[in-house]
Amino acid sequence: MADYLDYLEDSPDVVASKDKLSRIIVIAIYLGIWAIALMVFWFFTRGSDAMGYAFVFLWVVLPATTFALSLVIGKNDYWGRAKWVSPVVFGVMYMLAGYATLSAANMAAFNKVTMPEFAMIPVGAIISVVGLGIGVVSHHMKLKSKTEK
């Protein structure tokens, strides 16, 4: 009976369903935190709060979220080889966070449109690559330990 319960727990349909749900949750968490960061800027800060906002959200919250979720993606091997595209996505989202907040407020204040700071993309991507790399190493160590048993 215990063998059958173990089989049901590891059934391919159940595992695939949980894996798909986990991927959706990872995406939703990042987009949710990213959206909250933008809402905090536009609804709860004033001009004098810009440096504090930048420190909290652009230098701590978003990079920590990027690192943590990249670690999860690597550790769980989400999207197979395509997971290595995620640093580019995280980098673009990091750049857009700054552009949609501080740069947009500056453009509105001075009535002048500026280009996004594309130099921010590698910053977000590097943070993601580090988390992804650690996650991939962890995943391979887990696989190696399973095969040795």
- Domain extents for the chain? 2-148
Please write the tens of the pLDDT for every residue from 85-143.
999 999 999 999 999 999 999 999 999 999 999 999 999 999 999 999 999 999 999 88
Q: Rounded to two decimals, what is the model's pTM?
A: 0.86
Rounded CA separation 34/10 (Å): 34
pLDDT at 32: 98
Beta carbons within 8 Å of 143's beta carbon, 6+ residues apart: none
Return the axis-axis angle of helices 62-75 and 12-44, rounded to nearest 10°: 170
pLDDT in tens, 114-124: 999 999 999 99
